[in-house]
Structure 1
Amino acid sequence: MAIELTTNNFRDFVSRNDIVLVDFWAPWCSPCLLIAPIIEELEKEMPDVRFAKVNVDENQEIASMFGIMSIPTLMIFKGGETVDMVIGVIAKDALKERLLRHM
């Protein structure tokens, strides 16, 4: 299950884990609901990757810090630094390939 990140735990979580995929989403966002099951499947298949979510409505400061203008936005962090970003819905295999690229 993806960890819910807030301004209180975001920096600590992404910096303490090697590879992290953060899903910037909102409950009213239809494309966000489409990508959620893809992320859940990858979470089961890729135990070395940590998965997290940021509700942009509740955590506008984090969304603003990264310039999130459209959701879903998926950001991949490695060692606390952003290494990749996907805006919109992406196929499972394509997202998995992007994650593997950074492992």
Structure 2
Amino acid sequence: MAVAETTDQTFKKDTATGVTLTDFWATWCGPCRMQSPVVEQLSEEMTNVTFNKMDVDQNPNTPQEFGIMSIPTLVVKKDGQVVDTIVGYHSKEQLSQLLNQYL
């Protein structure tokens, strides 16, 4: 399962059901470029989680709504409700542990 691109228009629908992780990132962000392959790897292994990514430069409304000031920021939702938000680079093990709490 790949990481799907989500936008301001589709974010609510894309994260409405089950456990979802959204990676808020930008092309110019070094730590984001380190985080992306980790999220990609995890999406291959954790098929019971929906993985999304949002380019904050192209989609300013959702990050603003969530008060995202630093990237990468990873937002975990369960059935449409935010259950966790983490900022900065995190290892696959850290993200796996985080997500397993909500499954």
- How far, CA to CA, are the matches of 1:5 and 1:93 in structure 2? 24
Amino acid at match of 1:29: C
Q: How many residues align?
A: 102
Question: How far 1:3 sits from its partner (Å)?
Answer: 1.1
Question: How far 1:92 sits from its partner (Å)?
Answer: 1.1
Residues 1-103 of structure 1 mapped to structure 2, 5 A cutoff: 1-15=2-16, 17-103=17-103
Cα deviation code 1:2-50 (max 9, x no counterpart) = 11111211111111x3010000000000000001111111001100000
Say what the alpha-carbon RMSD is for the aligned residues: 0.7
- How far, CA to CA, are the matches of 2:9 and 2:82 in structure 1? 19
Amino acid at match of 1:36: S
SS at match of 2:15: helix
Q: Taking structure 2 as the reference length, what is the TM-score of the superposition?
A: 0.96
Cα deviation code 1:42-92 (max 9, x no counterpart) = 001100000001100000001100000000000000000000111000111
Higher helix content, 1 or 2: 1
- How far, CA to CA, are the matches of 2:37 and 2:57 in structure 1? 21
SS at match of 1:44: helix
- How far, CA to CA, are the matches of 2:91 and 2:4 in structure 1? 22
Unaligned runs of 5+ in 1: none
SS at match of 1:27: coil
SS at match of 2:68: coil
- How far, CA to CA, are the matches of 2:14 and 2:40 in structure 1? 19
Q: Taking structure 1 as the reference length, what is the TM-score of the superposition?
A: 0.96
Question: What percent identity do the matched residue pairs reach?
Answer: 39
